[in-house]
Amino acid sequence: MPYFELSLLNTPLAALTYASEIPLEQGQVVEVSLQSRKRLGIVIKQVDRPTFETEEITAIQSTYFKNWQIEFARFISEYYFCSLGEALGLFVPYDGLSDEAGMTLHGSIVLSKRQEEAFGFLKKHPVSLLFGDTGSGKTEIYMKFFEEMLAQGKRSLFLMPEISLTPQMQKRLEAHFGDAVVMWHSKLTKKQKEKALEKIRSGEAGIIAGPRSALFLPVDDLGVIVVDEEHDDSYKSSSRPRYHARDMAIYYGKLLKVPVVLGSATPSLSSYVKFPHYRLKGGHFQSERRFEFEAHAEGITPKIESAIEAVVAQKEQAMLFIPTRANFKYLICSSCGYTYECPFCSVGMSVHRYRRQVRCHYCGYAEAIPQHCPECQTGDLVSSRLGTAEAVEYFHEQRPQWRVAQFDRDKITTQKKLKELLHAFNEHEIDLLVGTQMLSKGHDYHAVTLAVVLGLDNLLSLSDYRARERALSLLLQIAGRSGRKKAARVIVQTFNAEFFSAYVDTYERFLEEEKLFREGMYPPYKKLCRVLFAHKKSESAEAAMRQMETGLSAFKSVEIVGAGKAPIEKIAGKYRYQILLRADKSTDLIRALKTTKVPLAEIDMDPIEFG
């Protein structure tokens, strides 16, 4: 009887051996039993009869993984320190449908001379960066690329950072490419996913668009991969496998010898340094954008209120960015200074007035809003750090005639709600849109003549080597949503006007200066890795950290930048410790980590979060 080594999907287990009376090929999906539970496994290879007893494979599925998918998954498994089964769990298998459907175009994309130059540049390089201002026509260039690929009988993969971007982009793509477009994201129903997969597997889909999960679809005849808003942090997975979709798109392109285009108005320094870029300046609309800075703590000031009032009076629209959702971020005692924290996490609770509760945004724990300080029993709990819901409530009370809407994850819980809100805003049924970072995500708002940005100083003061880049990029992305057709004001509430004003018109100058700041210390010149340890007992987490720290200290090519308690010491009842590592090459880090890894260690290669 033949024996096969299997990787079990979505499990952290190493490969297991099973028997099968039927010969199997590498990549076939099979069903097996493991501790009386049914599991799906992937055939990795045939092996000799083992010395131990094995169970038989119970069923063979019609789906299978191709060699490129297994090779891709192996790289993810090695680089991001997860099992092969966890890496393969990202991918959608093939199912044997033929790839013969034809695709039709609706007209042809016409580019300007500058766009044609950019398009020619992108076609010359295996990986390139389109560094284009907001409104400069990056999407038309992408679409021209897609058009060319379709004419050659090839497909295109179009990655966007979040599903919040998909409704407008779907409209634009379908207007030109019709049924050749398939959108893929987590908010699709089971039936919608099945329909999308059917189009992808049959070859009917020529353009596959979506957030990072779209990278792992079973696409043959790929001609180009486009990663839009490549700077966006949501391309990085926060759970295992902790991959970065932009970096994996680049690896995928090399694996299949397919060109990769990265695009952004505020590219990451990493991409700017590593890849050739084409600078596309200006926009379709030659309107002015005037930046004004107000040195004030985070809050709605008379200047901001009067600016919004002037815009509403002119029947134009405004946007207000606040980094915090809900009502307020923290409750602090007016008598003793106690901060009301989550009982399971070492973070302050957020106030959600409309739910009449305080909620932890880390573990989800919620309770009724406390009336008095639990520490001193006498003081009142006062709020700090303005949130989106509080701002909306304020305007509803003070300016009931204004049509104000909230745009964050508390309100936009479904794709339907997202489409409805964007439609209402573009139809001018909303005067003021108050939101979090969702506001910055590449939407086209044509009547916005005022953008107000609060809370940038909080971002700028984070203990993160990218704090300056993240704060400036966010400001420019939000500002870029305004002034599309008419002159716009951008009011920035900050005590760091000197920093922001120096770069709002010259982001490339910032990138050139940031190079000097990072060289020899931080990415892209050095590789970083964060190793996390979490346990219900603080001493157990610390002991695991110290054990690994001792092992790592023997590797001279790897620097231990720091080891100790994580900035947020406790989350969901588990105490957290961390080690931050730095090296010249990722191979040095991987070698050291493989040798010293302990069971409690969770490894985050190329981390973007340090809190």
Is 360 marked within a binding site? Answer: yes
Is 363 marked within a binding site? Answer: yes
List the structure tokens of 178. Answer: 């019709």
Helices 138-151, 166-177: inter-axial angle, 10-degree rounding:
40
CATH code assigned to 289-325+387-518? 3.40.50.300
DSSP 192: H
**Ranges of residues in the chain whose predicted pLDDT is under 50:** 326-327
Q: Which helix H or strand E contains 130, and what residues bound it?
A: strand 127-132
CB within 8 Å of 113: residues ≥ 6 apart: none
Nearest Cα neighbor of 42 from 84, 2, 6, 5 is 6
Cross-strand pairs, 59: 31
E strands, 150-265, in order: 155-159, 181-183, 207-210, 222-228, 260-264
At 382 the pLDDT is 73
Is 82 marked within a binding site? Answer: no
Assign domain 3-88 to a CATH class. alpha beta
At 313 the pLDDT is 94
Nearest Cα neighbor of 402 from 490, 307, 337, 521 is 307
Q: Do domains 113-280 and 289-325+387-518 have the same CATH topology?
A: yes
Determine the 3-state secondary structure of 227 from DSSP.
strand
Fold of the 113-280 domain: Rossmann fold (3.40.50)
CB 328 within 8 A of CB 390: yes
List the structure tokens of 526. Answer: 């050095």
CB 376 within 8 A of CB 329: no
At 104 the pLDDT is 56
Is 345 marked within a binding site? Answer: yes
Domain boundaries, the chain: 3-88, 113-280, 289-325+387-518, 328-386, 527-605
List the structure tokens of 176. Answer: 């030109």
Count CB neighbours of 275 within 10 A.
18
**Cα–Cα distance between 193 and 189 in angstroms, integer?**
6
CB within 8 Å of 310: residues ≥ 6 apart: none
At 289 the pLDDT is 85
Residue 173 dihedral angles phi and psi, to the nearest 5°:
-65, -45
CATH code assigned to 527-605? 3.30.70.260
Angle made by CA atoms 265, 269, 275, in degrees to the nearest 5: 85
Count CB neighbours of 463 within 10 A.
8
pTM of the predicted model, to two decimals? 0.89
Is 333 marked within a binding site? Answer: yes
Q: Is the Cα torsion angle 239, 243, 249, 255 positive or negative in sign?
A: negative
Sheet harboring 350-352: ordered strands across?
A: 366-368, 357-359, 350-352, 328-333, 381-386
Angle made by CA atoms 327, 430, 475, in degrees to the nearest 5: 60
Q: Which helix H or strand E contains 424, and what residues bound it?
A: helix 415-426
